[in-house]
Structure 1
Amino acid sequence: MRVVALVSGGKDSTFNMMQCIAAGHDIVALANLVPYNKSEIDSYMYQSVGHEAIDLIAQAIDLPIYKKFTYGLSEEKGRTYDPCENDEVEDLYNLLLEIKNEIDFEGVSVGAILSDYQRVRVENVCLRLNVTPLAYLWQRNQEDLLDDIIKCEVDAIVIKVAALGLEPKKHLGRSLSLLQPHLLAMHEKYGLNVCGEGGEYETLTLDCPLFKSRIVVDEFEIIMHQDDPIAPVGYLKFNKLSLEFKLPALDLESRLEGLPLKNSFEYISNDNEDSLELNNEEQDFEENDLSADSEVPEINVKSILMQQPNFGISKEGWLWIGGIQGESSNPGDALEEAISKIKCVLERHDHTLKDVCSIIMYISDMSQYVELNEKYIKAFNHVNPPTRACVQVPIGYPVQIEALSWKNVSDISGDADIDRHTMHVQSISHWAPCNIGPYSQAVKIGEFIHLAGQIALVPGNMQLVTEGIKAQCKLVVRHVGRLLNAIDNNVNLRDVVQGICYVTHHSYIEPARKYWEAKTKNAIVEYVVVTGLPRSAAIEWQVWAHRHNNQFEYEERGKCIDNYSISLYRRVNYDNNVAAIVCRVESADKSQTFEDNIFSEALTYSIEKLKQGHENDSTPVYNLKIFYSVLKVTEPNSLLSMMESFVDSTTLVYNFIPVVNLKNQNTFLSICGIRNQ
């Protein structure tokens, strides 16, 4: 795409331009916010020191530069941003709008690494202008990133220091390549961000492969902004700069040739973390498995199970909503019908759509996804929408939805309110798939983290990885781990409590299971074969995690009834205010037909284990997903009737979901349950 690059003159904005070119984009112009009538301003958004070099950078790259004055005022400092008059963010909006009126562009290059404050505001501006933010440095390991910047021949000098371990008279004007060992040492000693993401230092790029000429510093002076004896703050003011043409004159392709500059796929295939490169044994499996890669079992039967909305609200503000169906023959109308039912339940409990934190959509035909999504966007077109998973299952109507909402309840004990934090990253990066749409990657409420469904998209180009099921398994699990760690740096993949793994072929379950179990600890998981996934993916993971997963116990139980076996896996925390189960009904006899009384046994067993320790407590809510194979359970309506008999004595929220198969092809159904206080 055609890209306008936001440039400060520093290493990050420069290297992100190089990343954009490596990803196949075309830089068409530069944009810069200039401090009004000052050498340097204290801005939350923009690097201003070194602005004297911006025009020379544009000349060195041979691109037009668009500039606008900013006072660096920040009127809106919250986690989210609403357009606010006189805020410095609006200076950026007006600058890009002026550029858009003159030239066509579809993307904006942004050098953000860790700052959610900056990312959220740039994304807000890009969304209003209908362009895509490209932040390829986002969430990069800073030591690796600094090393890449230096190896890719970005010659940058330090022009401002403001941190313990950095001294103006000693370190200003020195190149990053020379300072790299010192920065690493200060990171170990004081926790300094080696790329300066905490404001420890700022840089000016004097030369890089994008430049036809290098910048020469002829005259400068050191300005002491704060002469603190422990962490003095100082910067360089440039009084005279010039350009020196580089010989021999080479075109851009030649200047970039030979650099270790990775493209989007190389960031997943050559990364030390969970590399997608396969060993010989795995490669043989992949080649033999390609015939199954696009196979979807023929399903001639679609389950027509007419459920009614059911719901339950816990004392801590969790509102579970199940049984929501859109039955109109028109997909868009069906989704509007389903959302209308959700709204009715929400309003009944003084919740709104903005309180919804997680949505699961089961649809009958993935080819209708675009039409359904258009309606969905209209309903959830607000800041920080819920997470969402979407899978295709053999239902006899267009859409079925289950939802989880949360609203803070007043606490008479005086404890601090539970906080809700949403991660809605819309910038394309090499970190994890962005969300350009009406859903968020993760929602953290108190100790709970709910993730959106994840498929194997290459983050840098948002294309599905094509190497086969093993590669898709590895990439999806990497996405899950990175999302968890990004929303809470004390949480990782091993903190997942419960998950659902959706696959489009039964042969995909075993590689998915092996890889997941090698990376996690005691998570209870159901593996479900569905008829389709977004982007024709082979696998989709949806999980929830808890900040204190190490305080959860793991338990396996089971019993046999006639020719059936009921296996149950349970996680419960030490305080016993959270419990989760996966319960499977199987038979070794392939000719065995399903008997309704076995469902009653499994349901009773599941609820008993969820209730354990709270048998006389009426406050908890029990949420159940009942996956059943349409190949083995052909009359599910009787199961629905049996379920209703349990609702009278328990706050039970339930969803029946027809699928092709479960973890074992001899499995009739599986119950995935959660108890919340």
Structure 2
Amino acid sequence: MRVVALVSGGKDSTFNMMQCVAAGHKIVALANLFPYNQSEIDSFMYQSVGHEAVDLIAQAIDLPIYKKCTYGVSKKKGKNYDPCDPSDEVEDLYNLLKEIQNEIEFDGVSVGAILSNYQRIRVENVCIRLNLTPLAYLWQRNQEDLLDDIIKCEVDAIVIKVAALGLEPKKHLGHSLSQLQPYLLSMHEKYGINVCGEGGEYESLTLDCPLFMSRLVVEDSEIVMHQDDPIAPVGYLKFNKISLEFKLPALDLQSRLQGLPLKDSYGYILEDGEEILELSNEEDETENSFLLASEIPQINIKPCLIQQPHYGKSKDGWLWIGGIQGLASNPEEALEEAIDKIKCILHSNAHDVKDVCSVIMYIRDMSEYSQLNATYIKAFNHTNPPTRACVQVPIGHPVQLEVISWKKLTGELAGDGEIDRQTMHVQSISHWAPCNIGPYSQAVKIGDFIHLAGQIALVPGNMQLVSQGIISQCKVVVRHIGRLLTAVDNTVNLRDVVQGICYLTHHNYIDLARRYWESKTNNAIVEYVVVTGLPRSAAIEWQVWAHKHNNQFEYEERGKCIDNYSISLYRRINYDNNVAAIVCRVENIEESQSFDSKIFLEAVSYSIDKLKQGTDHDPNTVYNLKIFYSVFKLNNPEDLLEIMHDFIDGTNVLVYNFIPVIELKNKNTILSICGVRNQ
């Protein structure tokens, strides 16, 4: 990828350029926004102090630089950004990159953001509008590890502004980060400052790094006191004279980078500070390697099970929509049909497409994905779209959808508690977790609930699937889930997952995935489902939801036997009894015996009884059921649909979806019910 690097002169923009080079990209130019007629301005977006050195950095790296002045005016300071005012400083960046596009060809933009959602969201907005890919390889890095990497990779940067308790202008300005590293770590322990200065504690200027052919030499500077506070004084260096000193011996870029602990995208998967992933010598990897498509049993798709759209609405703003199918033979027309059904239900319940927070898309053929996605984008082409999971299952029509929507209650209906929606839609490529450049977000948090998009084992830095087998893919996916949860809420982690679906492409993978998942989580109830295909030909995809107070959920196992059938049920329920989740499996050890639909009625009744336990008389209760059934075990699913039609009258509000699959948790499992009760 040809990349233009946004540079301020600081360590972060410099080190992100090095990360771009390590990831295989080519930097073709630099871009800088400098303050109008001042040494420094208070900008929400850009580092302005030290801008006098930026031209010399361009000379040192031997690249053209494009510059534009900014007044640092911020008109839109909210969580989201819309380009509504041309005087906003974000539009200065848009205009600068647009001008560069008119002169040279490039695809990506290097961004040194670490933690600031404010900056990331605005740079992403500009890049998406210009059809550019933002590359933020420092995003969400542990700051202590990142500072150590910057120093070890020979980025020689000095502190040029301080604005934090424990940092003093006369004492610390002009000192290198390598000198100050121990002191910064001690100030982090004492006062909680960000060691990389991400909280505005300090700004830096890079004097030298392996990308430079010359080093910057500060010949004359002065300290400017911006705020002479006795506790946390604010001051910066104003540079009066800086020069370049050519480095000898003259080496090419590859030689200058040689020997540095600079990792490529795959290197951040192998070792990320949390655990070492042994990707090449894994236990059982050989005998459980990928199966070729020709080895998957051939399925004769029968006429599709026709379901009718229906919904359930809870008293706290949730709207569950089921039975949505696109039956037209053409994929685009089928999805348009399905989305029209969803819009009709949303409208009838005073909801909007923007209120949708989670979508599951079951499709008949992954080769039709690009067609379906093009249509999907038209419907969900707005800021902070819903999460999405996509899997291929043996259905006879192009697409089937499940939808969860939520709308904030107002007035008397809102009650005492204030509930808000928080969406995480990171579109920058980083080493943190896969980006979502497109119509779905990584996570949506509503109150205490967090719904994640389906996760496959993509290497975040290059968005390619991990090349090894199921164990490697499982480890990477579980790591993604944990990171996403913590990014949404730093008090939440992997052990707060309440319920999940693990989609796999072969039954041999189930036990390996189950064992690894259970070693990392805490009583999450999970169904393992074998499907006919996953995005990018992945072997595994996880879709989960978590609760901020998972430690207040009880775990329960129950079961019963009827004739030769066993019904096993696993339940999670919180102490307040306003949320419950179940996984219920029906098994029969006699494969030759035809399935008795009365057993299905018993399983559904058992599932709903356990979901509603303690809330029998609450008319606002909504039950949502995913009913997975094996196409090799169940010959007449239409009988089950008839039972659900009759059964629905005896419940408060029941939303259900039948999903055909290849196989379930073991070869004796006929069907599985994954249910949630929400009030």
1:659 aligns with 2:661: yes
Structure 2 counterpart SS, 1:20: helix
Q: Which residue of 2 aligns with 1:35?
A: 35
Superposed CA deviations along residues 378-400 of structure 1, whole A, max 9, x for unmatched, are 11000000000000000010000
| One-letter code aligned to 2:348 | R
What do residues 271-306 of structure 1 show as CA deviations (whole Å, max 9, x unaligned)?
A: 2324321485x24x1122225365533222346100
Aligned to 1:132: 133
Q: What are the equivalent positions in structure 2 for 1:603-622 lying under 5 Å apart?
A: 603-622=604-623
Distance 1:672 1:523 in 2: 12
State the one-letter code of the partner of 2:322: G
Q: 1:17 to 1:645 in 2, by over 3 A?
A: same
Q: Secondary structure at the match of 2:102?
A: helix
How far the C-alpha of 1:616 sits from its partner, in A, is 1.2
Inter-partner Cα distance in structure 2 for 1:276 and 1:339? 41
1:449 equivalent in alignment to 2:454: no
* 1:17-416 alignment runs, 5 A limit: 17-83=17-83, 84-278=85-279, 280=281, 282-283=282-283, 285-292=284-291, 295-302=295-302, 304-412=304-412, 415-416=416-417
Q: What's the offset of the Cα at 1:120?
A: 0.2
Matched to 1:675, the amino acid is R
One-letter identity of the residue aligned with 2:671: L
In structure 1, what is the Cα distance between the partners aligned to 2:436 and 2:599? 42
CA positional deviation for 1:617: 1.2
Contact 2:109/2:135 (<8 A) preserved: yes
Residues 358 and 388 of structure 1 are in contact (CA less than 8 Å); yes or no, is this contact kept in structure 2?
Answer: yes
Q: Equivalents in 1 of 2:576, 2:19: separation in Å?
A: 48
Matched, 1:643 2:630: no
Distance 1:619 1:456 in 2: 39
2:600 partner SS? helix
Query: Matched residues in 2 for 1:297 and 1:248: separation?
Result: 63
* Conserved? CA contact 2:290–2:469, under 8 Å: no
The SS at the match of 2:285 is helix
Q: Structure 1 291/11 Cα, relative in aligned 2: closer, same or farther at 3 Å? A: closer
Answer yes or no: is the 8 Å Cα contact 1:387–1:439 preserved in 2: yes
TM-superposed CA distance for 1:591, in Å, is: 2.4
Query: 1:414 offset after TM fit, Å?
Result: 5.4
- Residue in 2 aligned with 1:675? 677
Q: AA paired with 2:676?
A: I
Measure how far apart 1:154 and its partner are: 0.1
User: Structure 2: how far apart are the matches of 1:185 and 1:247?
Assistant: 36
Structure-2 separation of matches of 1:324 and 1:556: 32
In structure 2, do the counterparts of structure 1 residues 614 and 416 end up closer, same or farther at CA, with 3 Å as the change threshold? Answer: closer
In structure 1, distance between residues paired with 2:52 and 2:455:
45
One-letter amino acid of the counterpart of residue 499, structure 1: G
Displacement, 1:416? Answer: 4.6
The separation in 2 between residues aligned to 1:58 and 1:217, in whole angstroms, is 16
Q: In structure 2, give the amino acid aligned to 1:260.
A: P
AA at the equivalent of 2:578: N
Contact 1:217–1:241 (8 Å) recurs in 2: yes
Structure 1 counterpart SS, 2:286? helix
Shift of 1:565: 0.3
Superposition TM-score, scaled by structure 2 size: 0.98
| Distance in 2 separating the partners of 1:318 and 1:291 | 40
**Contact in 1 for aligned 2:157/2:208 (Cα 8 Å):** yes
Q: Residue type matched to 2:568 in 1?
A: S
Alignment gaps of 5+ in structure 1: none
2:567 corresponds in structure 1 to 566
Deviations, residues 349-372 of structure 1 (Å, cap 9, x unaligned): 011100000000000000000000
Which consecutive segments of 4 or more residues in structure 1 shift more than 4 A? none
In structure 1, the partner of 2:470 is 469
Per-residue Cα deviation, 1:159-214 (whole angstroms, up to 9, x for no partner): 00000111111100000001000010010111010100000000000000000000
Residues 431 and 664 (structure 1 numbering): CA distance in 2 closer, same or farther, change over 3 Å?
Answer: same
Separation of aligned partners in 2, 1:438 and 1:452: 11
Please tell me the residue identity of whatever aligns with 1:194: V
Equivalent positions of 1:449-528 (< 5 A) are 449-528=450-529
8 Å Cα contact 1:302/1:630 also seen in 2 = no
Work out the CA distance in 2 between the residues paired with 1:291 and 1:181.
48
Which residue is 1:538 aligned to? 539
Is the CA contact 1:498–1:525 (under 8 Å) kept in the aligned structure 2? yes
2:391–2:535 Cα contact (<8 Å) kept: yes
1:629-674 deviations in Å (ceiling 9; x for gaps): 0000110001000001121132000000000000011000000000
CA contact 1:533–1:540 (8 Å) conserved in 2: yes
TM-superposed CA distance for 1:226, in Å, is 0.5
SS at 2:316 equivalent = coil
Kindly state the Cα deviation for residue 589 of structure 1 after the two structures are TM-superposed: 2.1
Q: Is the 8 A contact 1:296 1:532 kept in 2?
A: no
Counterpart of 1:543, as a letter, is V
Asked if structure 2 preserves the Cα contact closer than 8 Å seen for 1:297 and 1:531, the reply is: no
Distance 1:249 1:122 in 2: 36
Please give the secondary structure, in 2, of the residue aligned with 1:24: coil
Aligned equivalents of 1:4, 1:271: Cα separation in 2? 27
Q: Letter of the 1:546 partner, please give it.
A: H
| 1:505-560 deviation line (CA, Å, top 9, x unaligned) | 00011111011000000000000000000000000000000000000000000000
Q: Deviations over 1:547-583 (max 9, x none)?
A: 0000000000000000000000000000000000000
Structure-2 separation of matches of 1:279 and 1:107: 32
Alignment length (residue pairs): 675
Whether the 8 Å contact between 1:227 and 1:233 is mirrored in structure 2 is: yes
- After superposing the two structures, state which structure 1 stretch, 267-276 or 478-487, moved more: 267-276
- Match of 2:650, SS state, is coil
Deviation at 1:618, TM superposition (A): 1.2
The two structures have a TM-score, normalised by structure 1, of: 0.99
Distance in 1 (CA, whole Å) between partners of 2:616 and 2:13 is 59
